[in-house]
Structures are given as C-alpha cells and as structure tokens.
Amino acid sequence: MTKKPYYITTPIYYSSGNFHLGHCYTTVICDAIARFKRMDGFDVFYLTGTDEHGQKVQQRAEKAGVTPKKFVDDLYEQIVALWKTLDISYDKFIRTTDSYHELTVQKVYEKLLASGDIYKSEYEGLYCTPCEAFWTESQLVDGKCPDCGREVIKQKEESYFFRLSKYQDRLIKFYEQNPEFISPKSRMNEMINNFIKPGLKDLCISRTTFDWGVKLPFDQKHVAYVWVDALTNYITALGYLQPDHANFDKYWPADLHMVGKEIVRFHTIIWPALLMALDLPLPKKVYGHGWLLFGNDKMSKSKGNIVDPFFLVDRYGVDPIRYFLLREIPFGSDGSYTNEALLVRTNADLVNDLGNLVSRTTAMITQYFGGEIPSPNTYTDLDKELISLCEQTLSKVRTDMDNLSAPDALTDIFRIIQRANKYIDETAPWTLNKNGDKDRLATVMYVLAECIRFAATLLKPFITKTSNIIFEKLGIASPDNFKGIAKFGGTVAGTKVNKGENLFNRIDVNKELKELDEIAEKQNKQTKADEKTADELIDINDFAKVKLVTAKVLSCEKVAKSDKLLVFKLQVGDEIRQVVSGIAQHYSPEYMVGKTVVLVKNLKPAKIRGVESNGMILCCDDDGKVVFVSPEKEVACGKVVR
Ligand code: ME8
C-alpha cells in the first residue's frame, strides 16, 4: 500500500546566532508531529533550514570582520549541532545560500515578471532592519517596529514591486473556503482585521541598498527581498523548477507550515499570493504558535534572558527538555519557561509517574518471575478497564495530534501511566506474592508490562531516547509504527526484562535552583566582562572608516568671545579647510602657523560658536595638558595617516 505523503515545515532560521530555547520550540513540535505521522503510516517529509541572506546578516558579518558567507557557515554549523542535540529528525535541511535555491529564486522572479506580477517603481517606507520589514506609519507602535519594538528608518529606493493588491479578493475568498487554513482561529481574525481589511498594498520585493542576497536575473543591481527569498524555500527544497522535481510532485502542497505568531502574516498573505501568481496550489494549513516567554518577556539576547538549550540538555538530558516544551506550553498560546517549572514537571511526570512505573514493574518481574514476563491468566474487570484504556489511547492521541496539540496527546498517554501506577497499588502484587497467588500475580505483571509497552510506543515521537531505553528494559524491539498497539496482548510471554538503572533521577528542586542561580550569576558576570572587552575592541574595518590625513596650518586665529577655541585654515592636498579646535589655552595662534597636524578629514561638518568646522585636529590628552599630534619628520600635506 502506498503511504500518504505528509509535508511539514518549520520556518528557516535567521542566521543570527544565540539560539535559545524559544527557537527550539517550533522545531521540537514539528519533530514530534513528523515522528508521530511516520509511525502512523504517513510518508513524511520534514523540512527545516536557515535564512542566510539580507542586510542584517551583511551588517553582522561586517561587524564580526568576516565575509557574510563565512558568517553564515559558522551559524549553520551551530544550528545543525543544536538540532542534533535535540534529536530532530528532519528529512532535509535547506540553506538559502544553496545554489539550487538561489537559481530557483531567480527563476521565480523571471516567472513573476513574465506574468506581469512584477513591475518597477520607487519605494519609500519605514524599514526595520532587524526584522527586514517595511511598515506603514499606522502599523508602528509608539513610532517603533510593531514586531521587535526597535527604531525604524526611512528608506527610499528604486524597487520592483509585486502586485499583492491584485490578490486581495482571492485571498479573502480562499480564507472563507478554507477556514482551517490559518490556525488557531484567532490568528485568522487578526490577519483579516489588521492587514487585509485596511487594504493590501503592492509589495516591494527587491533591494538595492545592500548586495548580500539573490541577484535579480533581469536587473543585477537588485537583490531579492529576503522574505520572498525565504518563503520560496518551501518549494525550492522539493525541486520546484528543477530537473529533479519528484519530491515537489509528491509533497506539494504542504500539509503544515508551523510558524511563530509574529510571522503568520508573511505566511498567510504574501506566501499564498505568491503561490497564486505562480499558479501553484496553496498549503493546507499555517499554524501560528505562541511564544515561549521567560517570565513575561519574550526570550531575546537584547533582554538578556535567553535560556541556552545546549546547557539544559547537557545537564538534564534531551528528553526532559523536549517533554517540557511539548507538555507544558499550552499550544497556540504563549507559555512561560522557568527553571522551577522545568524541574517540577520533570520530577512529577518523568521521575515519579513514568520512571517509577517502569522501575517498579521490571523490579517485580525480576523478583517474582526471574525476570521473565509471565503469561496472563483470566482478566478481571479491573484488568479490562486498563486494557480498554490502552486500546483507546492511540485514536485519542491521533485526534490530539491532528489538532496539533502535543500537550493533550501527552496528557492522554500519561493517563495509561498514571492508571497503571494506581493499578499496582490496587492489586498489591507484594500481597499476592506473600499469599502465593502466582496466577493472579502473573496476570498483573503481564498487564503492567503491556501498559508500559503501549505507553512507550506512544511516547516514541515525543521523548525519543527514553522510549527506546524502555523497550530495551522490556526486552522488546523498539517499534517504528503503531501496528503493535492496535490490540492488547502483543508482548510474548517469556520475554526477559532488564531492570537496569532508573530512567530518571529525582532532582532536589531547591538545591538545584540555588545552583542554577549561582551558575547564571557567574555567566552574567562573564557576559558583562566579554561585552566590555568587545566594546573596547574595534576591527580594522571600523578603523578604516576614519580618514586621517596630514594638514599644514596656513593661518590660525582666536574665535571671538571664546577662551578655548582657535579657528584654523588648513592646507590638505589641493584643498583648504576651515577647522575649529579647542586648544587655545595650550597653544598660541602664532605658534601654530606653519605646523603640520593630523586631521580627521571625514567628520561631519559642525558649527562651533557659529563658526563652521570641517574636521578635527588630533591631540593627545596628557593629564589635562593638550599636545597636538604631528609627524616625526616633515611630510607633505594631504598624506594618508593609518
Ligand atoms: O522568523 N518562543 O526566523 P527566526 C517561541 N527567518 N518561538 C520562538 C521564539 C520564542 N521565544 N523565538 C523565536 C524567522 N521563535 C525567519 C523565518 S520562514 C520563510 C523565515 C521561533 O530565526 C519563531 O517564531 O527569527 C520562528 O517560528 C522560529 O523560531 C524561527 O525564527
């Protein structure tokens, strides 16, 4: 039987570095969905990647003193390491600097030009560089970018435009016919009221103010707008407009684009309109999840509250982190991370419920049956209650996952675990053993082993490593589908269990919180020290911005009504410059005439006491005494100083 394709994507991540736990949220959720769908018989294609072009990357690379390519290569390594640490099972990783992607973006622009969806004009707007987004005055919040709250700048440039306005009515009709397209529902209303109703304007889709991007094939001065470049990844990764397009034929349209709520508008307005213009089918669903907050704030470097996923995984293991993200955050809404919430959740669910069930059961099978899972005898009503709970859970979890609610799915799976723990107390196996009731004891052990097998199978998409360890303990091969849990009774009697070590160790929450505080304090101190060092150091490119030249003093006078200021006429090559300098208390005008000084040539002109000054004379501050800088030997004026 051919499997049904299922195409799921995360956004492609900005190559900005400092990946935090919030970033992991989208990818871990998609991973759980992808793994669930694979086990449930779908032919899954899970795509993730990196968004590597744009002004922001170019600026950051310049600041770091490396080429943009080197900059994005380093960050690519970081994010691949992060996804490995979190056990992410993507099928493809796309980088927007991959040549097949760049070539296809060019073909997309050509297609849009040919269909008349692109035209050339001039753009003037308010641009937020960090978000790579233009805003209208009315969209700003307190005059700042509504997404990140930072300053916007006025930018004007010759640009190509996409006829977004043309698709307004078709978009509204599409939303009406596909009410599930934008989920959760609240986000649909937000899009319609905030963006569509005020009227869609044509979208500026090229830039000339920087060059780190895909060059437009028909006008090389322009690079593609980073959002068009980025959104197109969802089809270029599948081979769209490429010789091998088998994946595109098979997987497009996407079943699910999972994105954070702040980028829903790009995915539900611009992206479908572009697809309409390309005459392609639209994705089935865009889900806008909430943010992982730290307290009440969004995690971000500038707020200094980022939680390092590498640190957490190293300290607690990958599954407590995956479990926390999937279980604790109400899906669709914002959720809050605190160390305490992570530790309490780990202790309650993983150590107490799951860990105890597995260790108690394997210990009892070892003690009462020499480690072999016994054959069950007649099932009582109590047993049947557990059996039917186990058999019903897959369909419940399937519904939860179709609703994209991992917290509900985990709650349903943990019902088996919690019920089984209660069953141990109700059946009191130690009493059965004492009373020599081996038949009943065997049935109880078998029911428990089966409950664990059901739970571990269902947990596999969520806590991947732990589930595999449980199967090792049960002596059963870890399944890669759900077929084995269609019916209770799949465990073969006689299978040898292996108790081994505890799945999770209990955490002393108060002690641990204290230690974490101490670590955070140390790190903060270190970060501050590092930032101070970074502030003090500039790279060669920064220095090169300052143009220093030698200049000869032609004349020098006191500025009227000022004790401190002298006004100079300087010969700089062929040019004569007027410069005001505050050295009147240290040098007389007569002394200065004929001297050679060093001038900062490219300082913006300024008026000092009403006198125009075009540059600055370099001086040393020798404990309050000012000494002007001069070449050690006679040098002609206008020579570069570096
Ligand atoms: O937006 N909580 O990339 P990105 C939850 N390159 N999710 C968070 C989060 C938080 N605190 N912080 C970030 C981009 N994310 C674009 C996408 S797609 C064609 C281009 C999520 O690196 C964020 O919502 O800023 C998004 O889903 C993902 O991390 C990547 O964000």
pLDDT at residue number 140 = 86
For ligand 1, the distance from its centroid to the CA atom of residue 13, given in whole angstroms, is 6
Give tens-digit pLDDT for 165-215.
999 999 999 999 999 999 988 888 888 888 888 899 999 999 988 899 999
Give tens-digit pLDDT for 80-90.
999 999 999 99
pLDDT at residue number 642 = 87
For ligand 1, the distance from its centroid to the CA atom of residue 60, given in whole angstroms, is 18
639 touches 596 (CB < 8 A): no
Strands 256-260, 4-14: parallel, antiparallel or unpaired by DSSP? parallel
* 26, pLDDT greater than 90: yes
Distance CA 74, CA 464 (A): 28
Highest-confidence segment of 142-151, 205-214, 485-494: 485-494
Please tell me if the CB atom of residue 274 comes closer than 6 angstroms to any atom of ligand 1: no
Give tens-digit pLDDT for 405-425.
999 999 999 999 999 999 999
Taking alpha carbons only, the member of 332, 335, 189, 176 closest to residue 261 is 332
Q: Mean pLDDT score of the chain, rounded to an integer? A: 92
Distance CA 315, CA 21 (A): 14
Amino acid found at 86: L
**Ligand 1 pocket test: which of 9, 18, 25 has the largest number of ligand atoms within 8 Å of its C-beta?**
25
pLDDT at residue number 304 = 59
- Three-state SS letters, 504-555: CCCCCHHHHHHHHHHHHHHHHHHHHHHHHHHHHCCCHHHHHCCCEEEEEEEE
pLDDT at residue number 301 = 57
Sheet bearing 215-216, strands edge to edge: 206-207, 219-224, 215-216
pLDDT at residue number 294 = 82
Please tell me if the CB atom of residue 283 comes closer than 6 angstroms to any atom of ligand 1: no
pLDDT at residue number 205 = 95
Give tens-digit pLDDT for 535-589.
677 777 788 889 999 999 999 999 888 888 999 999 998 889 999 998 998 999 9
* 303, pLDDT greater than 60: no
Strands 548-558, 596-600: parallel, antiparallel or unpaired by DSSP? antiparallel
pLDDT at residue number 581 = 93
Highest-confidence segment of 171-185, 320-334, 372-386, 590-604: 372-386
Nearest CA to ligand 1 atom 10: 22
Percentage of the residues of the chain whose pLDDT score is greater than 90: 74
DSSP characters over 318-343:
HHHHHHHHHHHSPTTS-EEE-HHHHH
Please tell me if the CB atom of residue 37 comes closer than 6 angstroms to any atom of ligand 1: no
pLDDT at residue number 482 = 98
pLDDT at residue number 307 = 85
Give tens-digit pLDDT for 336-352.
899 999 999 999 999 99
pLDDT at residue number 188 = 86
pLDDT at residue number 302 = 55
pLDDT at residue number 330 = 84
pLDDT at residue number 40 = 98
- Among 278-282, 291-295, 445-449, 504-508, the minimum mean pLDDT is found in 291-295
pLDDT at residue number 544 = 83
Show the tokens assigned to 90: 């993507």
75 pLDDT tier (thresholds 50, 70, 90): very high
Helices (H), 214-345: 226-231, 233-236, 246-251, 264-265, 271-277, 309-316, 318-328, 339-345
Q: 49 has which bridge partners? A: 12, 94
Instruction: Measure the CA dihedral 55/61/67/68, to 10°.
Output: -40
Q: Can you tell me which atom of ligand 1 is nearest the CA of 260?
A: 24
Please tell me if the CB atom of residue 49 comes closer than 6 angstroms to any atom of ligand 1: no
pLDDT at residue number 15 = 58
Please tell me if the CB atom of residue 282 comes closer than 6 angstroms to any atom of ligand 1: no
In which region does residue 317 sit, left (phi positive, over 0), alpha (psi from -120 to 50) or beta (all else)? Answer: left
* 470, pLDDT greater than 90: yes
**Ligand 1 pocket test: which of 23, 27, 51 has the largest number of ligand atoms within 8 Å of its C-beta?**
23
Q: Can you tell me which atom of ligand 1 is nearest the CA of 13?
A: 22
Please tell me if the CB atom of residue 334 comes closer than 6 angstroms to any atom of ligand 1: no
Distance CA 46, CA 141 (A): 36
Q: 126 has which bridge partners? A: 135, 154
For ligand 1, the distance from its centroid to the CA atom of residue 600, given in whole angstroms, is 43
**Torsion sign over Cα 346, 347, 352, 353:** negative
pLDDT at residue number 156 = 78
* 61, pLDDT greater than 70: yes
Nearest CA to ligand 1 atom 23: 260
pLDDT at residue number 206 = 95
* 305, pLDDT greater than 90: no
Give tens-digit pLDDT for 218-272.
999 999 999 999 999 999 999 999 999 999 999 999 999 999 999 999 999 999 9
- Three-state SS letters, 398-464: HHHHHCCCHHHHHHHHHHHHHHHHHHHHHHCHHHHHHCCCHHHHHHHHHHHHHHHHHHHHHHCCCCH
Q: Can you tell me which atom of ligand 1 is nearest the CA of 258?
A: 27
